[in-house]
Homo-oligomer: A and B are copies of this chain.
């Protein structure tokens, strides 16, 4: 129909996920995301709209179907809970669903992952 995208959206989300998981939400700047994805500013904003929206897509991809408590995905969940969930209901909803998947061990699984930051 028109000029095609030069990137694959899923790949970009996966690259952004790595950056958010490693740095956390606030500490991960747009420049960090540009570096991680190889995109230019305008392209990132055209495709995703805002930092918060990028994170929402990252989180949905990580915690949606096929969520299996990989370390990186737990880091994203912890970040979402600590930095966003209390003031962002859609993010909180995604978190709730993932936590239901974890069942009664949710607290221990998350706490154990938190403690991994000491090693």
Which A residues form the contact surface with B (CB < 8 A)? 24, 26-27, 78-79, 81-83, 85-86, 92, 95-96, 99, 106-112, 114-115, 117-118
Which of B78, B96, B118 has a CB less than 8 Å from the CB of A114? B78
In the complex, are the beta carbons of A83 and B27 less than 8 A apart? yes
- 13 further A-B contacts with Cβ under 8 Å, apart from A81-B114, A107-B108, are A78-B82, A81-B118, A82-B114, A85-B117, A92-B118, A95-B118, A99-B115, A106-B111, A107-B114, A108-B111, A109-B111, A110-B111, A111-B112
Which 6 pairs show the lowest CB-CB distances between chains A and B? A111-B111, A107-B111, A26-B26, A110-B111, A107-B112, A81-B117
